Amino acid sequence: MEIFYIEDGQLDAYLFHEGTYYKSYEFLGAHKIDDGVRFVVWAPNALEVYLMGDFNSWEENDLPFKKIENSGLWNICISNIKEYDSYKYRIISKDKKELIKSDPYAFHAETRPNTASKYYDIKGFKWTDNKWIKNKSESYHKPVSIYEVNLMSWKRKEDNSPYSYRELADELVSYVKEMNYTHIELMPIMEHPHDGSWGYQITGYFAPTSRFGTPKDFMYFVNKCHNSGIGVILDWVPVHFCKNDYGLIKFDGTNCFESENKRLAENEQWGTLNFDFSKPEVLSFLISNALYWHDYYHIDGLRVDAVAYMLYLDFGGKKLKNKYGGRENLDGIEFIKKLNMEVFKNYPYTMMIAEESTAWPLVTQPIDKGGLGFNFKWNMGWMNDMLKYMELDPYFRKGSQKALTFSITYAFSENYVLPLSHDEVVHGKKSLLNKMPGSYEEKFSNLRLLYLYMYAHPGKKLVFMGGEFGQFIEWNEWQGLDYFLLDYEMHKKMQIFVKELNKLYKRESCLYEEDTSYDGFEWIEHTNHQESIIAFERIDSHGDKLIAVFNFTPIERKSYPIGVTEEGTFKTLINSNHKRYGGKIKRVKSYKSTNEPMHGRKYSIRVDLPSLGGLYLKLRRDDQ
């Protein structure tokens, strides 16, 4: 075995330590070179570093690293490594302790419970998604309907084993396409030790988990999504990392990725360690990682987890202040801005979605206008209000009308995604269907009503897997969804409803084109507390209008007056209580306007409002 060392890594080391090496994954980690494979690792306070693996029978001392001059980076090059060879770093700390670590920049890893990194040549996949990439543009004025998925539990085989990336490329992608969703959002697929963490406690930021196959298998999955017209969003966790001893924790015996200040480093809520955003090397690591998933996997966006923990020093209940006496995490805020600037500089049409649960202003505004630079934010307020409202006995909803209407007062302050996410259907919160009050049939009616209202409300859409057919029990990450429920009429009809609602949403520009402006929304009726009825218009960029009317009580309202601005016949685009979807309405009606003024409008129509249901209506044009 030939051993040699690089002589020209000073510029790479300089940029990495400066915090601006946003392609650091091209240098650190294991990379093929002409004469073998080069390994580079950051261990600034180590006394010694050794490479060991399959290629040297895991001998501890015969492959010593050499430090790159004037840096905290170590390197070694060897000649006889093969793809899929497992390896680790043996680090001797400054207090002479031995640490056995996996590679923070590894592209591939052993499958849990094994913990070694694997050498893998990341290059060479034959992409066929050029048309998708070429046609990408901004998402503000497009339909975005996201299907959120946990790959371990979307569907299981008969022996309870999960599907592979390549099997999911057939099974999951075809299902999402059939259901008319525009995007898949994957809960974190970066390598992690514990299935029960759902991927949110990571050990391998640059490695798609080997639970489902190789990195190129995951590329195959993304490629299949794109060729099926489906975008791919990844959950991404730049806030914290797990404490497994082979991971990032005290990487060289000292706090490299975490703060030296224990109170800043500890994340008690999750039993993890927070990244230290004041360290330039951490910025190089994390921003590189965000770009890496775009560069090598062609992803279409990142949903950035737990942004509030990056914005506030005291978010987890700690009594910490910044140097000015405030609660803001100044380093975290700067990291977020640098992250978004760099990502959008390279990928202007990607989606950077903040999962941010506070009232921090201007999250989705440009940085030069005082914002954080994301282009979308989860609307947690809408989600919390709507779920609390829908769980009420319908006869008592009249006292909570504000829960329906308040979200419009801030709907355009940010560019929102409306989420009904995994967090709402676990830990005793019950499934969406089982949250709904009433009889068996009323539960389905309420859930259809919630979806109908959600799709009309300004903002992009996200629904967690299983919600589309009315999963009855709450989500269990250890087993697949209950697809046997589709043998039952009401669940099958719920699935048909969501499928057709997605199709209608993509077809009707009124429902998505003006999601970020009051130009796209106008109230018709929002003060009818007693009958729990609301109505509004959604308007597209050409002034075309769609009327959405909702009845949140179990009492049918015949000939209910709705003000309209134009004369003509209004056709029903969808009625959530139609028999096709599990309701009682056998046929949809059209409604002709009269000269009777109503709701400040010159004309009106009188519609039959179904119990626990709603309608989308649209003026029939001569060409329709």
Residues recognised as catalytic: 305, 355
Q: Which amino acid is at 64?
A: P
**Does residue 208 contact residue 187 with C-beta atoms inside 8 Å?**
no
Cα maximum dimension of the chain: 92
Residue 388's CB is within 10 A of a number of other CB atoms, namely: 12
Rg of the chain over Cα atoms, rounded to whole angstroms, equals 27
Task: Name the helix (H) or strand (E) containing 272.
Answer: strand 272-274
CA dihedral over 490, 494, 495, 496, signed as positive or negative: positive
Q: Which amino acid is at 586?
A: K
Burial class (CB in 10 A: 0-12, 13-18, 19+), 297: buried
CA dihedral over 381, 386, 387, 392, signed as positive or negative: positive
How far apart are the C-alpha atoms of 136 and 139, rounded to whole Å?
9
What six digits make up the tokens of 235?
């959950």
Q: Which of 104, 130, 133, 114 is nearest to 24 (CA)?
A: 104
Q: Which of 415, 392, 416 is nearest to 402 (CA)?
A: 392
> How many residues are present in the chain?
624
Burial class (CB in 10 A: 0-12, 13-18, 19+), 130: exposed
How far apart are the C-alpha atoms of 71 and 571, rounded to whole Å?
70
How far apart are the C-alpha atoms of 230 and 221, rounded to whole Å?
11
**Does residue 36 contact residue 55 with C-beta atoms inside 8 Å?**
no
Residue linked to tokens 């990408």: 136
Q: Which amino acid is at 24?
A: S
Q: Which amino acid is at 183?
A: H
Residue linked to tokens 């039959």: 608
